[in-house]
Structure 1
Amino acid sequence: MTDIERDVREVAERARDAAADLAPLSRAAKDAALLAVADALVARAEEIVAANSEDVAKARENGTGEAMIDRLTLTAERIGAIAGAVREVVELPDPVGEVVRGQTLPNGLEMRQVRVPLGVIGIIYEGRPNVTVDAAALCLKSGNAALLRGSSSAYSSNTVIIDVIRGALAGTEVPVDAVQLVPGLSRDSVKHLMRARGLVDVLIPRGGAALIQTVVNESTVPVIETGSGNCHVYIDEAADVERALAITLNSKTHRVSVCNSAETLLVHAGIAEAFLPKALAALRDAGVTVHGDDRVRSYDDSVVAATEDDWGTEYLSHDIAARVVDSLDEAVVHIRTYSSAHTEAIVTDSQTAARRFVARVDSAAVMVNASTRFTDGGEFGFGAEIGISTQKLHARGPMGLPEMTSTKYVVTGEGHVR
């Protein structure tokens, strides 16, 4: 056993012990710990920003793109918002102990299915140090121990943030080892975390498609897949042009570096003449480069020719692919072919078109006359989310507190034998 494997297994073993002590704690004990964490984040914001500045400086030296630097950057204002998100989690109902279903069986046995923590959750993520706090808060509230493995690009930030969290927990009933940073900066530490079956109950990868597929394909620990966001906006023939413009611009430009930002625009041929000249001009004015097919390019000389790769790309930048389609069904076929099954939107005044789109598009979230940017745990009222699952087992879409639990059956009898 190598040193790094030993180190990873040691933190996993401590997390396993902490999870056992954390699971039975009351909501009051967990909420008190989370409030202590929120206060500590604000109190030590200057220290966190200083560490983050080191990470940002290294990222710029390494030629990291501005979209990724935006994800990496922390300011006192952002830390305040992160602490606010922790306080919002405090206000959410505790899912642990909730009775999912229950009944008295014909033989008199009382059967209840209740929510219980998953146990030890490993989160592997890239770039964004705010995930460190979000993940820790959701894990603690749902009674789970968190093993956090951020990217090396945010190592200084994450190290200080974890120190702040653990320092806050030290004065509460929640065990300090309920939140730990996975040691090591090499890929080996990730590999050993993925192979810690029996110590780690589930892994949740958050990041680009390459990271997610690596974890899904190589892990022996069960994985909840959070997919990349190749999100589509379809402008139906029956759409209101001004509404379509507003939704398109918000979906693409509100924040380009996040997974619910639109990456492909599909426009029905019947509305292209009225919509595309305005949309292309507005996108250009917002600094967006449009990668379009020949029919889109015919409306604006600034549109660059789209390649096959563009249709499947999650840009996370001021770029969008665009195509004219001849029918709603053609739009659906395009989405089925290239989508990552994250979020798709239709803009239409036709209830028939909306119902058909919703029924035929198989993604975690489908928006009708609303921006793709609403696929978010906070916007859905879940509080800070652990990720947006694009798989179909256990959890799908924004993962809030209930998705951080499993269930067990509690059966009570009076000397019953079978």
Structure 2
Amino acid sequence: MHDLRALRADPASFDAALARRGIAPVASSLVTRDEERRTTLQALQERQAQRKNLAKEIGQGKRAQVNTSDLEARAVELRDEIATLEIRANEIERSISDVLATLPNRLDDSVPDGKDETENVTIKEWGTRRDFSFTPKQHFELGEALGLMDFPTAAKLSGARFTVLRGALSRLERALGQFMLDVHTQEFGYSETSVPLLVNDAAMYGTDKLPKFAEDSFRTEDGRWLIPTAEVPLTASVAGDILDAKTLPLRMTALSACFRSEAGSAGRDVRGMLRQHQFSKVELVSVTTPEESEAEHERMTRCAETILERLEIPYRRLLLCAGDTGFGAAKTFDLEGWLPGQQAWREISSCSNTRDFQARRMNARYRAENGPAFVHTLNGSGLAVGRTLIAVLENYQMETGAIIVPDALRPYMAGIEQIG
């Protein structure tokens, strides 16, 4: 959510900032509506004061046994005018809020211009891509040949974009999640959290998933939402709070199932388990002060990179351009792992600083020196477990179709060194 006072103070700057995202100018319209709202509220306050004074006059007149019928008639008129003004003020307030709720966050100055993912900027590349003596296979070819990745049964149970993992691959997926949690909690100070997989409208709205991304999420018949990411319950856990500055930064992590409708992705990544309706992810969330959020963003991204480095999966860090930066983010780093079976880089983590954008929507604040101020919230994947599994399968495959278990995961696999 945007600060209406800042918009009012510099509407040209507001429009220029959103123009980088391809948003048409809206500031003038919002300022006009806000002026109408303030004029309406002023008239409302004047009528309320008049009615209060009139009530005193009526009371005095009745005690003096004076005819107050004219005063009482005016009081009725004021009551009706007040009701009309209240309705109008609420309508205007709602119309402003409805527009603001659909406007994306302002971008950090360091975010490059660009229309889509083709104009993202590579910040760094880590690791050496393995030189295979054979043509590497894609993950679904490997998994199906092992008899441990079952798409037909998943389709029978749930339809397209679901996967059944069996045996050692199921255990490898679990090992990845446990390994990620252990590193983030034991080495990086994140607090492990178990979160609900169902949340209400307020939690989704506060984390900028509503109204923009309603069609991308699954809703239950009783009006709750299956979480698209644990970012939603973790971040929304501080909604409405005024936090002690000494407790910041709050760093939370959760391994959870995530659910996405993948609306608009028809025909994309239909083979395998790269783009699923249900997947597991280790989420990282930080709540901090404005002064520390930029450093926290870099720290969070390094935490995610460390997982890939421990698994020895080549990756690269991208700074997303204006056209590819998510709705709620001011700045985003994507980590892409190298998939030799696809001969392509694929996103495996996304770490974003939303600044106070989410905090304003959920009224999350901390006690600053000059009074309560909005916190900054950050979120990132540390990592997407399913996509990391894909990267492990493709990077650690052997010509026989067997999979070498990375050294970092062997303690979680009872010492198993090879699958297949």
Into which bin does the TM-score normalised by the smaller protein fall? under 0.3
TM-score for the superposition, normalised by structure 2: 0.22
| Greater gyration radius | 2
